[in-house]
Structure 1
Amino acid sequence: MKTDIHPTYFSDAKITCACGNVIQGGGTKKEMSVEICGACHPFYTGKEKIIDTAGRVEKFKARVAKAKSVVPKQKSKKIDRATVRKTSKTLIKKAK
């Protein structure tokens, strides 16, 4: 086997979460940052939390608000052909 091919291992690595939680652990980097950890993850905390890194949630909420504000158009009543024939026949009879 080759010697000195493994990366340097730091047993006192510091992992920092976006929520501010700091975890001491081991890794190949001295300091790491993560977006979510066990202290703020909704599955572990039992609280619903929307995690948005690219503004997708705001775009979705804007679309929902716009859809609610737009009043749906009234559907035009579909006229049955048989009804039109009956109506036209009665009008012709009345005209005679």
Structure 2
Amino acid sequence: MKKGIHPNYFEKAEILCACGNVIKVGSTKEKMEVEICSNCHPFYTGKKKLVDSTGQVDRFQKRMEKAKKIKAVKSEAKKKKVSKIAKKAITKKTASKNK
């Protein structure tokens, strides 16, 4: 093997989980942080729970709320436009009758 081209190897590297579990492994990184490990993953624990990776459910719900607001604004703008067109048509009819 060539010298000086390989990364440093840490035999007691730590993996820190969000649940508080610490796993010691060999790695080229000294410390790593993970969201889910075998200690808290539903597949390994047998417990059913929602695994929400970085708030994906919350982000989806926010997008849906925003879409509803935009849809309401657009439909209101469309109603205003339709009523404006209807008023123009009525004024044209009354103007043509008055001639």
Normalised to the residue count of structure 2, the TM-score between the two structures is 0.54
**Shift of residue 54 of structure 1?**
3.9
Please state which structure has a larger fraction of its residues in helix: 2
**Which runs of 5 or more structure 1 residues have no equivalent in the other structure?**
64-96
Superposed, 1:21-40 pairs within 5 Å as 21-40=21-40
**Which runs of 5 or more structure 2 residues have no equivalent in the other structure?**
66-99
Asked which structure has the greater CA Rg, the reply is 1
Aligned-residue CA RMSD (Å): 2.2
Q: Is 1:46 matched up with 2:51?
A: no
**Shift of residue 4 of structure 1?**
1.5
Determine what percentage of the aligned residue pairs are the same residue: 58
Give the AA of the match of 2:52.
D
In 2, Cα distance between equivalents of 1:41 and 1:54:
15
Displacement over 2 Å in runs of 4+ = 53-58
Give the AA of the match of 1:8.
N
